[in-house]
Amino acid sequence: MTSSFPDSSSMPLLELRSPVNRFGYAYWNTKRGERRMPTRNDIDPGEIKKILPNIILLDVKQESLDFRYRLIGTDMDEHMLDRYTGKWMSEIDHQKPPSCIWTSCKWVVEMRLPLSSRIPYVGRNKEFITTEDLIMPLSQDDQTVEMLFVTVGFT
């Protein structure tokens, strides 16, 4: 059976420079199989040990759209301005709408497709200039995005 969903060459992705993001996308794509999106249960931390420090899981609140930090990898947590686990993006000044990250997350929820972007780095480590993020949707019913699986590389 051939997949009815676009392959990676037609997805709205930048040329992924980060090995973390290339691995994350290949993993997400394998896990979705013939579906539009994999489920949260498809993501097995044991299979992605090498990128766990660079992942974020965001809960999606559909009504009055918002995104809550459920899990933040150790490298990600170290590079953020504050501890965000459990916080909603709308509570974080530089992430609430209409920030780049908010707009990207909203697009992924609406389009139900992965999206990559390069945005200015805002964090503790001044040696980085940009981040390359990859936001991938997760869904139980293959229609409603309930969670976002994010991988991030720093440049």
Strand residue runs (E) in 26-138 = 55-61, 66-72, 115-120, 130-138
Q: What's the number of domains the chain is made of?
A: 1
pLDDT of residue 4: 33
Percentage of the chain modeled with pLDDT above 70: 81
Q: Cβ-count burial of 133 within 10 angstroms (0-12 exposed, 13-18 middle, 19+ buried)? A: buried
Domain ranges, residue 77 = 16-43+52-154
Q: CATH number for the domain including 138? A: 3.30.450.20
Task: Using the predicted structure, report yes or no on whether residue 50 has a pLDDT greater than 50.
Answer: yes
Q: pTM here?
A: 0.85
Q: Is residue 102 part of a domain?
A: yes
